[in-house]
Structure 1
Amino acid sequence: MAIEFNSKYPSVDDLRTKAEKMIPKFAFEYLDGGCNEDVNLHRNTSELRDVQLIPQYLRDFNGASLKTKLFGIEYDAPFGIAPVGLQGLMWPNAPEILAKAAHKHNVPFILSTVTTTSIERAAELTEGKAWFQLYHPTEDRLRDDIINRAAAAECPVLVILCDVPTFGFRPRDIRNGLAMPPKMSVKNIMQVLGKPKWAMNTLRYGQPSFETLKPYMPKGLDLKQLGKFMDATFSGRLNEEKIKPIRDMWKGKIVLKGVASEEDAKEAIRLGLDGIIVSNHGGRQLDAGESTIKPLVNIAAKYGDQIEVMMDSGIRSGPDVARSLASGAKFTFMGRSFMYGVSALGNKGGDHTISLLKTELQQVMEQLCCENVEDLPKHLLIK
């Protein structure tokens, strides 16, 4: 098998280890941590890895293809880059690096409302192929303006977020005084001084900021004022009343991200949405909740023929992608895996991570003697 990535880092775990050495502790802990005691963070991956696949060695086999159709578009692999907030805090220019890599490899890149490049720049880098994830504003005027910008940028898919009705309780971030920009305590300054490459790149690209939101933010906000602005401007709590106007406005596909129950999946179908992402926000919101693989199995079985069912949270590798697809997901997304890659390898991190995941998934499919992604459920061991 041809190796198309840096052989020093042949796993996402290797990238994570390198990333921890490259970026300040407050940035790494923001990326790496969950909420409360991290129970659901670890449950996501451990329970996903309980899924077992069955090879069929003696069947005719003509090679494996990773190509996958989603919303009428053919992608080169059945995974994409999930929306992540504050990406430029973890590695300067990270969202642009990842958008370019996604476009090169023909996989979806989802831009978060609260990341550090703008809708327009992401669209430019992906030639209008970037998806946009809307963090719901409290004011209709602001909601409409952001949606119109995404439409003007020709984003094919609008992702609306339902799993942040309140901010997760994250002890590490509280201890680190994490905000945007980060609070520069003596401890944080010492962490920055210990990561010279990160510091130099931050100087080069400038202090990260919420680029999509800049037109709506008063100039010169200090940390306390910025927090008040964000609290007053956004409400993550969705319901039918908030979703219907978005469905009426948006002419493209709409995906609901953060679905963790059959009830919400059924409601998404009733409201005319095109897809759902079964997700628990990477274990960052509800520590007492289920892992994502548990509700995915039932939701996909019950509603997979009525709506496109996708999954994120807990997926770290090509085998994890295969496990998720075999369990009923049509498509998968990863956030941390790509951020580990960029934080570890800078400008080469996005390309490396996508190539690594493609190589891993290709090997799994060849080992299973599975020719097409949509056939992976046939290899699922039913316990």
Structure 2
Amino acid sequence: MPVITCIDDLKRLHKRRAPKMFYDYAESGSWTEQTFRENTSDFDQIRLRQRVAVDMSNRTTRSKMIGQDVSMPVALAPVGLTGMQCADGEIKAARAAEKFGVPFTLSTMSICSIEDVREQTKAPFWFQLYVMRDEDFVDNIIARAKNAGCSALVITLDLQILGQRHKDLKNGLTAPPKLTPSTLLDLSTKWRWGLGMLGTKRRTFRNIVGHAKSVENMNSLHSWTAGQFDPQLDWDKVAKLKEKWGGKIILKGILDAEDAKKAVEVGADAIIVSNHGGRQIDGCLSSIKMLPSIVAAVGGQIEIHLDSGIRSGQDVLKALAMGATGTYIGRAFIYGLGAMGEAGVTKALDVIRTELDTTMALCGRRDVTTLGKDILLIPKDFEGDWQA
């Protein structure tokens, strides 16, 4: 067993053990991938202030996200096709999150269904909704999430139109993979993944197949999803979805202060500053660069969470110190899942918590809820000096 000391170690194992099309699905952005790259590299511009001769005993990373106690302010982000990175991937990730004491968010485009995850876990999880044109499907999946006891609905706002990801098109991404000569050659070297898939019945989008009209197999699923993302999603529809849900609402995909203000007006419990991990619009600023203006606009009125680009506990600390109240990891836990299954997700969480705890202490703080900009060195031009 290799020694795992950082998220990059898990990433290297993931690349070796998962089929190329699914590794590429996780490790890619849209178009030129500029935003995908800058989501991570922009964290490097922020430096830390070391403080010494401070009592570092009795430290805690415990916090709350939308009123829920968490062992650290890090949730597992919704990631489509998680069950293709490793057999029963959503179940394994949800179990790891439950044991670790952090939230797990199930994607609409998951391989394991809401019911699958509910049957295999005890703690309530969050459900992420893609708003589709088929209103009956949306109403039904909201009802299913309620019946499963999901404690929050995460509405994704930045996927009304699907961004183009070159690698997915070139790889002919499908779930399960089509058995072409190149795919068969790749799968022949991924025996660990293949044995896992042979041992599960969960190999397609189980939140959709059998639940959406006329979707009974892979062919009908592809034609259904191709035209289903709702391009007419607006704030009025968001308000109606909030009313239908009747519980905690988190709005994902906020990247502008004006949209953050709209989220406050509509009564959301939290927003996620996010650009979909660089997988939708390409050429926009990174989430961490947009965070300060959003905190200035709505900080104190609503919980502000952040995703896109977090690969370490230091990144988590920087986001919290800049005003976020919670963070999400997507690729970081997917690397762990693809590398080592449930144990890999646990390892990713453990790596991040250790880095967060140690770095927090060396910055002179003992409580993650007390972090502020005074522990950071932020370039004067970090947010950019743009023309009006």
Please classify the TM superposition score into its range, dividing by the shorter chain length. Answer: over 0.9
CA-CA distance at 1:43 after TM superposition:
0.4
Q: State the match for 1:135 in structure 2.
A: 130
In structure 2, C-alpha distance between the alignment counterparts of 1:302 and 1:380, rounded to whole Å = 21
What amino acid maps onto 1:197 in structure 2? R
Measured in 1, the distance between the counterparts of 2:196 and 2:176 equals 15
* Cα offsets for 1:96-125 (capped at 9, x unmatched): 111000000110000000011111232344
User: Is the alpha carbon distance of 1:354 and 1:7 closer, same or farther for their aligned partners in structure 2, counting shifts above 3 Å?
Assistant: farther
User: Could you say what secondary structure the match of 1:333 adopts?
Assistant: strand
Greater shift in the superposed pair: 204-213 or 157-166? 204-213
Taking the TM superposition and a 5 Å limit, the aligned residue runs for 1:38-53 are 38-53=33-48
Q: Secondary structure at the match of 1:265?
A: helix
Alignment of 1:295-314 (within 5 A): 295-314=290-309
CA distance in 1, matches of 2:215, 2:107: 22
User: Which among 203, 210, 215 is matched to residue 208 of structure 1?
Assistant: 203
Q: Out of 20, 23, 48, which is 2:18 matched to? A: 23
Letter of the 2:325 counterpart: K
What TM-score, normalized by structure 1, do the two folds share?
0.94
Q: Which deviates more from structure 2 when the two are superposed, residues 339-348 or residues 270-279? A: 339-348
Quote the Cα distance in structure 1 between the aligned partners of 2:340 and 2:285: 33
- The residue aligned with 1:35 is 30
Task: Tell me by how many angstroms 1:33 deviates.
Answer: 1.0
Give the length in aligned residue pairs: 377
AA in 2 matched with 1:379? I
Provide TM-score, normalisation by structure 2: 0.93
- Displacement of 1:128 in angstroms is 4.4
- Aligned residues with identical type, % of pairs: 36
Which of 217, 220, 227 is equivalent to 1:221? 217
C-alpha offsets along residues 243-292 of structure 1, whole Å, 9 cap, x if unaligned? 12111122211010011101110110111111100001111111211111
Deviation of 1:222 after TM superposition, in Å, equals: 4.2
C-alpha distance in 1 between matches for 2:218 and 2:106: 25
The 1:207–1:125 alpha-carbon spacing in structure 2 relative to 1, beyond 3 Å, is closer
Residue 69 of structure 2, aligned match among 74, 91, 98: 74
CA distance in 1, matches of 2:93, 2:243: 31
Instruction: Show the counterpart of 1:346.
Output: 341
Q: CA deviation at 1:86?
A: 0.6
Alpha-carbon distance in 2 for matches of 1:335, 1:154 = 23
Specify which of 365, 375, 381 is matched with residue 377 of structure 2.
381
Segment drifting more, 175-184 vs 297-306? 175-184
Equivalent position of 2:321 in the other structure: 326
1:149 corresponds to: 144
Residue aligning to 2:186:
191
Structure 2: gaps spanning 5 or more residues: 380-388
Segment drifting more, 107-116 vs 35-44? 35-44
Q: Give 1:89 deviation, angstroms.
A: 1.4
Alignment of 1:130-279 (within 5 A): 130-206=125-201, 208-217=203-212, 218=214, 220-223=216-219, 225-235=220-230, 238-279=233-274
Contact 1:137 1:234 in 2 (8 A): yes
Aligned to 2:383: none
Aligned partner of 2:60: which letter? S
- Contact 1:128-1:154 within 8 A present in 2 as well: no
Distance 1:185 1:284 in 2: 26
8 Å CA contact 2:291, 2:322 repeated in 1 = yes
What letter matches 1:330 in structure 2?
Answer: T
Match of 1:102 in 2: 97
1:113-147 CA deviation, whole Å, 9 max, x = no partner?
00111112323444242000001121322211111
8 Å CA contact 2:95, 2:342 repeated in 1: no
Matched residue type, 2:265 = R
3-state SS of paired residue (2:209)? helix
Aligned partner (choices 281, 284, 287) of residue 276 of structure 2? 281
Could you say what secondary structure the match of 1:277 adopts? Answer: strand
Q: Is the 8 A contact 2:209 2:217 kept in 1?
A: no
In 2, Cα distance between the equivalents of 1:88 and 1:279? Answer: 23
Shift of 1:374: 2.0
1:359 CA drift (Å): 1.1
Query: 2:261–2:297: 8 Å Cα contact kept in structure 1?
Result: no
Of the three residues 347, 354, 358, the one matched with 2:353 is 358
Unpaired segments ≥5 residues, structure 1 = 1-5
Deviates more, 1:111-120 or 1:228-237: 228-237
Contact 1:162/1:237 (8 A) holds in 2: no
Deviations 1:64-121, CA, capped at 9 Å, x for gaps: 2100112222110110100000111121111111100000011000000001111123
What is aligned with 2:80?
Answer: 85
2: CA distance, partners of 1:238 / 1:120:
27
Q: Is the 8 A contact 2:29 2:279 kept in 1?
A: yes
Shift, 1:7, TM fit: 6.9
Task: After superposing the two structures, state which structure 1 stretch, 108-117 or 241-250, moved more.
Answer: 241-250
Contact 1:254 1:274 in 2 (8 A): yes
Root-mean-square deviation (Å)? 1.7
Aligned to 1:302, the other structure's residue is in SS state: helix
User: In 1, are the aligned partners of 2:260 and 2:297 still within 8 Å (CA)?
Assistant: no
SS of residue paired to 1:58: coil
